[in-house]
Amino acid sequence: MAEGSRAGPLAFGQVVIGPPGSGKSTYCQAMGAFLAQLGRRVAVVNLDPANEALPGPCALDIGELVTLPDVMASLGLGPNGGLLYCMEYLEANADWLRERLRALQGHYLLFDCPGQVELYTHHQALKNVFAQLAKWNFRLAAVHLVDSHYCTDPGKFISVLCTSLSTMLHVELPHVNVLSKMDLIEHYGKLAFNLDYYTEVLDLSYLLDHLASDPFFRNFRRLNEKLVEVIEDYSLVSFVPLNVQDKQSMRQVLQAVDKASGFSFGDREQRSLEALMSAALGADFHFSSTLAVQEKYVQSQDKAVEEEVMDL
């Protein structure tokens, strides 16, 4: 077997993907800090050549290899074409990536990826990079971030479901879909259903009925029905709610990711986690679902209604 194809030591990590503005870089820094408190050695790897203002330190930056402004200036490409070229350039220079990753041996890696949706739905370059990482003995889970404000618009939510499903099928990694910025959801508007309806992607026929009340979407009911059928036939998409400022929410996401990647932590980390969560919650920590997030959302809605009544 050639030296270049020989697998390295087993390593674990997360591939953080999602559309622009979904909070990928913020998530990487917050998750990195959370894992460091649990005793893991964490390194953030920036794979976004357009990310010039990183919110925190990263151990490896693709900017050392290629940057989007340089590509756009030298090749006369726009932002989208330039980003695709950068990913193809990274794929062609996989040896550069492997050499840099060798210096991070023993670390749990968080890969901060670009935000262009095409990279995860039909373009091959980044998918091939992930496949190459798997050959190098990296056990990765894809964390797909979606801004929670899409839940407030049924039409956009169906679009997000289709994009998430397409991403899961194309990337071909263990996958965790995350609704990010849950601390801001009350600012986006009132949800038509309880939060668990969106996180568990329950009976979408109710969503179709809700869409039918809109004159615009009423004309596309048949199309929406077919899209919903595709989503329900695969039965793959569900979401974990995330508020990066809430340790309980971070723990819930981490549990889903560790389960997906096969990472198993030892007794020492488990004790650190229990101590951390007990300090955060003021009591012994027990795993909870979306009920806590839902309760906070309902309370914020009730408060808003009370304020409106007082104003009247």
> pLDDT above 70 covers what percent of the chain?
82
Q: What is the pLDDT of residue 56?
A: 78
DSSP code of residue 98: H
How many CB atoms are located within 10 Å of the residue 239 CB? 25
Phi, psi dihedral angles at 14 (to 5 degrees): -125, 140
Residue 128: pLDDT above 80?
yes
> Do residues 287 and 210 lie in contact, with contact meaning Cβ atoms separated by under 8 Å?
no
* pLDDT tens-digit readout, 48-106: 999 877 777 899 999 999 999 999 999 999 999 999 999 999 999 999 999 999 999 99
* Domains within the chain, CATH numbers bracketed: 11-201+238-305 (3.40.50.300), 204-236 (no CATH)
Residue 252 burial (10 A CB sphere; 0-12, 13-18, 19+): buried
Q: What is the bridge-based pairing of β-strands 239-241 and 11-17?
A: unpaired
* pLDDT tens-digit readout, 10-51: 999 999 999 988 999 999 999 999 999 998 999 999 999 998
In 3D space, the residue among 191, 124, 196, 121 whose CA is nearest the CA of residue 160 turns out to be: 121
Q: What is the pLDDT of residue 16?
A: 97
In 3D space, the residue among 243, 259, 220 whose CA is nearest the CA of residue 295 turns out to be: 243
Q: What is the pLDDT of residue 85?
A: 97
DSSP code of residue 107: P
| DSSP run (H or E) holding 254 | helix 247-261
In 3D space, the residue among 209, 246, 242, 240 whose CA is nearest the CA of residue 225 turns out to be: 209
Amino acid at position 3, single letter: E
Identify the residue whose tokens are 């039965």: 235
Identify the residue whose tokens are 């840099």: 100
> Do residues 130 and 136 lie in contact, with contact meaning Cβ atoms separated by under 8 Å?
no
pTM of this prediction exceeds 0.85: no
